[in-house]
C-alpha cells in the first residue's frame, strides 16, 4: 500500500508535476496514435505476416522517438525470453535448411521483442498508454465480434466464408480457438468496470456482443478460460474494494451478472443450430481426443520424445513425424525449444504470476487493468494444457501488460512517477 513516506516523496519532487515541453507532448501524442492503430490492427490475423506485425515496427520507431527506454524492472522478463529463444535457435540444428522452421523461430524472436517493448512502454506515463490500449482493444474486439456473428448467421453475402468456418465464428483469425481467447481481456475490463463502478448501456451492449461471439467460436478452451478469468476477477474485485459497501455491490452485481449470462445462454441455445453445435462441443471428451491419433495419445508420445531430444526436436518436427500437433503448450515448449527452453518458459510463467501478485494489491490508477491482465493470464495458462499458445500475439501483450504495469507500480510507490489526473486518464472515464 502507499505509505505516508511515499506521499512525502511525491511532494518533494515538484519537477514531476511540471508541464511537458511541446516537443515531448508531440512525441507522446504520436506514440499514443501509433499505439492505438497497432492494437486496433491486432484482430486482423488471417494473413501472415499480419498488418499488426508491420505496425509493431512502426511502434518501435515511435517509442524511440518518444524516448522510451529499457525498464530495469523487466530485465528478468527479457532474460527468460532470451534464454527461451536462444534454445529455440539451437533446436533448428535438427531441422536445418527448412524455411518454415526459420520463420517460426523469427516469429518467436519478434514476439519476445514485442513483449519487452510493451512492458517498457507501460512502465512510465502509464495511464494515457494503458487507456489507449484499452480503447483500441475493446473497439477492435467488438468490431471483429460483430463480423464473426455476421459470418456465423450469414447476415450478408459471403459473410460465412469470410468470418466463420465449419459453423464456428472466427472473426479475423484463421482459427476460432484463437479468436475466442482474444476476446477475453477486453470483455474482462468492461465487466470489471460494471462490477466495481457504474453500469452503462454501451458497456452492456459491448459485453453482449463479445460474449455472443465467444460463444459462437465454440472453443471449449476459450469457454473454460473465460469462466476461470471471471472467477479470478470477482475474487480480486472483492479483495481490493475500498469499502465494505463496495464489496457488497460487487457481490450483488456478480450475482446479477451470472443470472443475466445464464439467461443469455439459454436464449442463444433456443436456436437449433447453436443448440446442436453447443451440445456437441460441450462434451468433455471429443472423438479427436481419444483413439489412435487422438490428442491424449499424441501427448503421451510427446512426453516420450521430449526425453529423447534434450535440445528439442525443432519447430513442426513432431507433427511431421506423427501427423498432428500434441496441442499442449508445455509439451510444445520442451519439444520445440528443448529442455533449457522449456524450463525458461515455465520459469517465465511463474515469474509473471509472482510479479502480478506482488503489485496488483497496491492501489494505483491502473490497478484494475493489472487485475484484468492477471485474470486473463491465469486463464490462458490453464488453457495452454489443451492448445499451443506460444505464438499468440495477445498472450505477449498480456505479458507486457503485467510486467509493465508491475514496473509502473514499483516506480509509483517509490515516487518515480506520478500518474495522470484521474479526471482525464482514469479507467472510470475510459
Per-residue pLDDT tens digits for 23-46? 668 899 999 999 999 999 999 988
- State residue 299's pLDDT score: 75
| 3-state secondary structure at position 414 | coil
Q: Decide: helix, strand or coil at residue 165.
A: strand
Whose CA is closest to 363, among 317, 318, 427, 293? 427
Per-residue pLDDT reduced to its tens digit, 268-322: 877 777 777 777 766 656 555 555 556 677 777 878 888 888 888 888 888 887 7
Ramachandran category for residue 199: left, alpha or beta (phi over 0 → left; psi -120 to 50 → alpha): beta
Kindly report the average pLDDT of the chain as a whole number.
85
pLDDT given for residue 40 in this prediction: 95
Task: Judge contact between 348 and 403, C-beta under 8 A.
Answer: no
pLDDT in tens, 115-124: 999 999 999 9
- Checking if the pLDDT of 420 tops 60, the result is no
Residue 104 DSSP label:
H
Describe the crossing of helices 393-413 and 99-122 by its angle, rounded to 10 degrees. Answer: 30
Planar angle of CA 233, 45, 321, nearest 5 degrees: 95
Per the DSSP assignment, residues forming a β-bridge with 165 are: 168
pLDDT at 292: 58
Residue with cell string 528439442: 312
- Considering only CA atoms, which of 109, 91, 345, 357 is closest in space to residue 239? 357
Confidence of residue 147 (pLDDT cuts 50, 70, 90): very high
- Residue-range domain boundaries for the chain: 4-425
Nearest alpha-carbon partner for 114 in 368, 418, 407, 399: 399
Percent helix, strand, coil in the chain, to 5, is: 75, 0, 25
pLDDT digits (tens, 9 = 90+) for 95-117: 877 778 888 888 999 999 999 99
pLDDT tens by residue, 38-82 = 999 999 988 877 888 899 999 999 999 998 988 889 999 999 999
- SS3 state at 164: strand
As a residue count, the chain comes to: 430
Q: Over pLDDT 90: what percentage of the chain?
A: 49
DSSP bridge partners of 164: 169
For residues 360 and 374, the answer to whether their CB atoms sit within 8 Å is yes
Residue 293: name the closest of 264, 258, 321, 265 by CA. 321
Q: In this predicted structure, what is the pLDDT of residue 430?
A: 43
E strand or H helix at 168, and its extent? strand 168-169
Q: Is 126 helix (H, G, I), strand (E, B) or coil?
A: helix
Q: Is the model's pLDDT at 3 over the cut of 80?
A: no
Look at the alpha carbons of 182, 114, 390, 366 in this order and tell me if their dihedral is positive or negative: negative
Express each pLDDT in 328-344 by its tens digit: 899 999 999 999 999 99
Give yes or no for a contact between 145 and 170, defined as CB atoms under 8 angstroms apart. Answer: no
The predicted-structure confidence for 213-251, as pLDDT tens digits, reads as follows 999 999 989 999 999 999 999 999 999 888 888 888 889
Amino acid at each position: 500500500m502507499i505509505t505516508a513516506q511515499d506521499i512525502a516523496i511525491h511532494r518533494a519532487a515538484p519537477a514531476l508535476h511540471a508541464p511537458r515541453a511541446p516537443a515531448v507532448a508531440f512525441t507522446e501524442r504520436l506514440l499514443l496514435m501509433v499505439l492505438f492503430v497497432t492494437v486496433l490492427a491486432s484482430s486482423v490475423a488471417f494473413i501472415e505476416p499480419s498488418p499488426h506485425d508491420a505496425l509493431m515496427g512502426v511502434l518501435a520507431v515511435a517509442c524511440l522517438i518518444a524516448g522510451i527506454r529499457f525498464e530495469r524492472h523487466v530485465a528478468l522478463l527479457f532474460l527468460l525470453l532470451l534464454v527461451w529463444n536462444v534454445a529455440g535457435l539451437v533446436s533448428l540444428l535438427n531441422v536445418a535448411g527448412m524455411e518454415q522452421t526459420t520463420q517460426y523461430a523469427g516469429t518467436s524472436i519478434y514476439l519476445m521483442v514485442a513483449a519487452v517493448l510493451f512492458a517498457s512502454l507501460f512502465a512510465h506515463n502509464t495511464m494515457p498508454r494503458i487507456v489507449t490500449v484499452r480503447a483500441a482493444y475493446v473497439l477492435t474486439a467488438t468490431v471483429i465480434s460483430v463480423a464473426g456473428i455476421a459470418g456465423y448467421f450469414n447476415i450478408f453475402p459471403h459473410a460465412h466464408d469470410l468470418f466463420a468456418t465449419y459453423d464456428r465464428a472466427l472473426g479475423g483469425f484463421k482459427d476460432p480457438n484463437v479468436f475466442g481467447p482474444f476476446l477475453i481481456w477486453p470483455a474482462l475490463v468492461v465487466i470489471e468496470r460494471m462490477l466495481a463502478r457504474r453500469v452503462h448501456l454501451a458497456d452492456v451492449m459491448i459485453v453482449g456482443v463479445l460474449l455472443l461471439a465467444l460463444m459462437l467460436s465454440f472453443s471449449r478452451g476459450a469457454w473454460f478460460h473465460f469462466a476461470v478469468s471471471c472467477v479470478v476477477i470477482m475474487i480480486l474485485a472483492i479483495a481490493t474494494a475500498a469499502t465494505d459497501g463496495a464489496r457488497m455491490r460487487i457481490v450483488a452485481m456478480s450475482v446479477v451478472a451470472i443470472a443475466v449470462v445464464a439467461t443469455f445462454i439459454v436464449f442463444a441455445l433456443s436456436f437449433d443450430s447453436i443448440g446442436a453445435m453447443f451440445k456437441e462441443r460441450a462434451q468433455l471428451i471429443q472423438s479427436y481426443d481419444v483413439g489412435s491419433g487422438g490428442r491424449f495419445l499424441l501427448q503421451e508420445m510427446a512426453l516420450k520424445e521430449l526425453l529423447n531430444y534434450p535440445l528439442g526436436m525443432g519447430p513442426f518436427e513432431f507433427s511431421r513425424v506423427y501427423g498432428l500437433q500434441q496441442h499442449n503448450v508445455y509439451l510444445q515448449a520442451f519439444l520445440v525449444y528443448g529442455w533449457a527452453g522449456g524450463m525458461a518458459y515455465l520459469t517465465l510463467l511463474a515469474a509473471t504470476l509472482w510479479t502480478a501478485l506482488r503489485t496488483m494489491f497496491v492501489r494505483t490508477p491502473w490497478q484494475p487493468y493489472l487485475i484484468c491482465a492477471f485474470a486473463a493470464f491465469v486463464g490462458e495458462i490453464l488453457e495452454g494444457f489443451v492448445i499451443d499458445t506460444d505464438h499468440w500475439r495477445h498472450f505477449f501483450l498480456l505479458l507486457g501488460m503485467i510486467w509493465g504495469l508491475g514496473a509502473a507500480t514499483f516506480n509509483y510507490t517509490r515516487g518515480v512517477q506520478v500518474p495522470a489526473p484521474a479526471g482525464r486518464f482514469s479507467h472510470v472515464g475510459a
